[in-house]
Amino acid sequence: MTLPEDPIMLLSTINMKLRDQYSSLDELCDDMDVSKEDLIQKLKDAGFEYSEEHKKFW
């Protein structure tokens, strides 16, 4: 699956996958062969921050 380029769609997709399919952001990134740092930065640039405690971006 190719991740959406639009930051809002990306946020929605990543949070849905974290909620429904993966136990951690590391697991999601490993499985989808995505750079965790790049993903975090892309969403940070759009104003979102990752919470390890809540296992989601907001």
* Other C-beta atoms lying within 10 Å of the C-beta of residue 14: 25
Q: For residue 2, is it within any domain?
A: no
Model confidence pLDDT, tens digit, residues 7-47:
999 999 999 999 999 999 999 999 999 999 999 999 999 99
Please give the model's pTM, rounded to 2 decimal places: 0.92
**Domain of 16, in residue numbers:** 7-57
| pLDDT value, residue 1 | 76
| pLDDT value, residue 37 | 98
Beta strands in 1-58 (DSSP E): 50-51, 56-57
Q: For residue 16, is it within any domain?
A: yes
Q: For residue 23, is it within any domain?
A: yes
Q: For residue 38, is it within any domain?
A: yes
| pLDDT value, residue 45 | 98
Number of domains in the chain: 1
What single-letter amino acid sits at 18? L
Q: For residue 1, is it within any domain?
A: no
| pLDDT value, residue 30 | 98
